[in-house]
Amino acid sequence: MSLLSLGFMQRAIIAGCLVGMLCALIGVFVVLKRLSFMGAGISHAAFGGVALGYVLGIHPTFTAFVFCILTGLGIAFLSKERRLKEDTLVGIAFASTMAFGVFLIGIGKVRNVDIFGYLFGNILAITREDLIFASLLSGLVLFVLFVFYKEFVIVTLDPEGGKASGIPVEAFSYLLVTLVAAVVAVTIRLVGIVLASALLVLPAATALIRARTIPQAMLFALLNGIAVSLGGLFLAYFLNAPAGATIVLLGTGVFLVVSISSSSPRQG
Amino acid sequence: MTSPVIEVRHLSFSYEDIPILEDVSLAVQKGEFVALIGPNGAGKTTLLKIILGLLPVQQGEVRVFGKPPKYLGNLRHRIGYIPQLPHFDPYFPITLREFVLTGRYGLIGIGKRPKKTDWEAVENALEAVHLESLGEKLLGELSGGQRQRALIARALSTNPEVLLCDEPTTAVDPKSSESFYELLLRLKEEGKTILVVSHDVGVIAQYVDSIACLNRTLFCHRRPEEVISQEILEALYGKEVAFFHHGEIPHIVVRKEKGEQ
């Protein structure tokens, strides 16, 4: 039986392409705006959301999505309005949202929860609903990135100058964090909560080593993200290894090769 | 007499109860080239940011083109802002041409794409600073002096009437610094109003029409030759500094060693 005729593999391949594309495109702004650690904090928050979904009987991907967005916006808001350091807030959110998830699963007596799958990814668990959700989100993220491309550039390059020229940079910063949270929520189905932030950062960081402009970085990251996601999936299948970990390790390998072979590393 | 382009009246500003500006009044007339000088921490950048609308007016009144900075609307594009050079990540992946275009982003409008006229304005701005042949170079591939001119080109891309510059010659060599001020002088002769924040009275005094001395409060705003007296500079920078005069111009301001006369 052909590998591609397996239902779970077909779903994993579609998810790999969508997630690889989303992470790559948004990841360029994440790396340039130094939001990598924020991405890690947001992805861990998903665990609290997943647990809440199980306890309330709502689809966990949906609750994880909402939880990720609220955590991202909360961190961005508090660091701006209360002048708290962003890394401190991420450090707190990181642990407390995980603790919230463990607590809920404990007191909710939730059984048959694939915790390991949520933490490290489980391609067998990708459902048709997940794919529909990921497709809709991909369309939305692509649309927002296309329409507000130059606003995201100014928010990343020079928020102060943007504000001086009348662009509502705070609103676009929040929008960027919302997109990051949304992408992370989809990514966790493929590579898991613990590894999602790696997929958000790796293709973009690799692309930015060589890219001369942001559109070029997006294109390089897109090709790299999809290639790494699909390559990792097939490699995992043939090695009988966990897919999420294989994808992330493959991405890290590509990053290392490109950064070592490049004479003048820049953003990576 | 027409009303000033920039008018600051009895402005006070504090940051978490620490007073930064106290009762500052300043007027910049159309076509004037003014230097705002003072030691580090004097509140120069804060004043500039209030004029730009980046910080709120807590007490007093600020008018730019006769309007409060917050309500400038489209008049905002008649101001060009030149921030400090170290403000930018030199490795940001952007070509000089795209970088200059970012100066027009507010004018182009949210969610809209640049048109042919926007790219023409970029080319004109690059020509004005003699960087037209380097449009496809990356920002990080330019020298310090070229990057400085790139910032001016970006500010000029909207063809502004007023230029506000924050410590523009920080982190550039003296030769680039001189050519930078000469370029500003040429722009002033073309009719632009210019306000430059600087801590280096020596270099700037040769180019400007007047110097405003700020150290939390503004205690003088006069012609350069009147400002560069020992008394005023001592009052501004404190007695612990020494001034080395080259003719009329004090070129170096340094802290005296302990015990030195």
> From the list A148, A162, A208, which residue is nearest B93 (CB)?
A208
> Taking 90 as the threshold, does the pLDDT of residue B245 lie above it?
no
Whole-number pLDDT of residue A124? 75
Residues in A closer than 8 angstroms to B93, CB to CB, are 32, 208, 211-214, 216-217, 266-267
Contact A187, A45 (CB under 8 A): no
Contact A183, A199 (CB under 8 A): no
Instruction: Please report which helix (H) or strand (E) contains residue B165, including its range.
Output: strand B162-166
> How far is residue A120's CA from residue B159's CA, in Å, rounded to a whole number?
54
Whole-number pLDDT of residue B183? 85
DSSP of B97-153: HHHHHHTTHHHH-TT----HHHHHHHHHHHHHTT-GGGTTSBGGGS-HHHHHHHHHH
Q: What angle do CA B97, B98, B102 make, to 5 degrees?
A: 120
Say which residue, B257 or A60, is predicted with more confidence.
Answer: A60
How many other CB atoms sit within 10 Å of the CB of residue B8? 23
Can you give the residue ranges of every domain in chain B? 6-255
Nearest to B37, CA basis, from B256, B253, B255, B257: B253
> How far is residue A121's CA from residue A195's CA, in Å, rounded to a whole number?
8
Residues B135-152: what's their mean pLDDT?
89
- % residues pLDDT > 70 (chain B): 84
> From the list B83, B93, B154, which residue is nearest A217 (CB)?
B93
Amino acid identity, position B206: Q
Whole-number pLDDT of residue A186? 84
How many other CB atoms sit within 10 Å of the CB of residue A144? 19
Residues B144-173: what's their mean pLDDT?
86
Residues of A (223-242) whose Cβ lies below 8 Å from B: none
DSSP of A189-242: HHH-HHHHHHHHHHHHHHHHHH-SSHHHHHHHHHHHHHHHHHHHHHHHHHHT--
**For B251, phi and psi rounded to 5 degrees?**
-90, -30
Tell me how far the alpha carbon of residue A110 is from its chain's centroid. Answer: 26
Whole-number pLDDT of residue A219? 96
Contact B170, B84 (CB under 8 A): yes
Whole-number pLDDT of residue B228? 67
Domain B6-255 of CATH type 3.40.50.300 = yes
Model pLDDT for residues B40-70, shown as the tens digit of each residue: 888 899 999 999 999 999 999 999 999 999 8
DSSP of A54-92: HHHTS-HHHHHHHHHHHHHHHHHHHHHHS---HHHHHHH
Top mean-pLDDT range of A98-112, B97-111, B223-237: B97-111
> From the list A147, A153, A160, which residue is nearest B111 (CB)?
A147
CA distances (Å), origin B169, targets A8, B148, B184, B207, B212: 61, 8, 12, 14, 18
Whole-number pLDDT of residue B239? 60
Nearest chain B residue (CA) to A149: B111
Nearest to A197, CA basis, from A37, A70, A67: A37
Model pLDDT for residues A84-123, shown as the tens digit of each residue: 788 889 989 889 999 999 898 888 776 667 778 888 888 7
- The chain-wide mean pLDDT, for chain B, equals 83
> From the list B72, B102, B113, which residue is nearest A158 (CB)?
B102
Q: Cα-atom radius of gyration of chain A, to the nearest Å? A: 18
Nearest to A101, CA basis, from A47, A56, A44, A54: A47
Chains A–B, number of C-beta pairs less than 8 Å apart: 84
- C-alpha torsion sign, points B76, B78, B84, B87: positive
Whole-number pLDDT of residue A264? 58
How many other CB atoms sit within 10 Å of the CB of residue B155? 26
> Which residues neighbour B18 within 8 Å (Cβ) at sequence distance 6 or greater?
none
Which residue is listed with tokens 């009719």? Answer: B191
Amino acid identity, position B249: I
Kindly indicate the confidence band of residue B229, based on its pLDDT and cuts at 50, 70 and 90: low
> Which residues neighbour A161 within 8 Å (Cβ) at sequence distance 6 or greater?
A154, B81, B83, B102, B103, B154
Contact A48, A98 (CB under 8 A): yes
Contact B205, B36 (CB under 8 A): no
> From the list B106, B111, B113, which residue is nearest A166 (CB)?
B106
How many other CB atoms sit within 10 Å of the CB of residue B168? 24
Say which residue, B23 or B249, is predicted with more confidence.
Answer: B23
List the structure tokens of B152: 């001016």
> From the list A162, A168, A212, which residue is nearest B93 (CB)?
A212
> Taking 60 as the threshold, does the pLDDT of residue B261 lie above it?
no
Beta strands B6-15 and B33-37, pairing class: unpaired
Any A CB within 8 A of B254 CB: no
Any B CB within 8 A of A261 CB: no
Domain A13-193 of CATH type 1.10.3470.10 = yes
List the structure tokens of B45: 């950048």
Whole-number pLDDT of residue A61? 82
Rounded to the nearest angstrom, the minimum Cα separation between A212 and chain B is: 5
Model pTM score: 0.86
A216/B93 Cβ within 8 A: yes
> Taking 60 as the threshold, does the pLDDT of residue B255 lie above it?
no
A217/B105 Cβ within 8 A: no
Contacts 24+ apart (CB under 8 A), A235-240: A236/A123, A237/A3, A237/A9
Whole-number pLDDT of residue B258? 43
Say which residue, A101 or B257, is predicted with more confidence.
Answer: A101
Model pLDDT for residues B107-143, shown as the tens digit of each residue: 999 999 999 999 999 999 999 888 999 999 999 899 8
Alpha helix (H) ranges present in chain B?
Answer: 44-52, 96-102, 105-108, 116-128, 144-156, 174-189, 201-204, 224-227, 230-237
Chain A interface test: which of B17, B55, B110, B157 (most A C-beta within 10 Å): B110
Identify the DSSP state of B234.
Answer: H
Instruction: Please report which helix (H) or strand (E) contains residue B28, including its range.
Output: strand B18-28
Nearest to A213, CA basis, from A149, A142, A147: A149
Any A CB within 8 A of B54 CB: yes
Contact B37, B222 (CB under 8 A): no
Rounded to the nearest angstrom, the minimum Cα separation between A174 and chain B is: 16
> How far is residue A117's CA from residue A105's CA, in Å, rounded to a whole number?
15
Query: 10-residue block means of pLDDT along chain A (268 residues)?
Result: 74 90 94 90 90 87 89 89 82 90 83 77 81 89 94 93 90 93 85 86 94 95 94 91 90 94 62
> Which residues partner with B14 through β-bridges?
B19
Residues in B closer than 8 angstroms to A32, CB to CB, are 89, 92-93
A213/B103 Cβ within 8 A: no
Rounded to the nearest angstrom, the minimum Cα separation between B248 and chain A is: 37
A166/B92 Cβ within 8 A: no
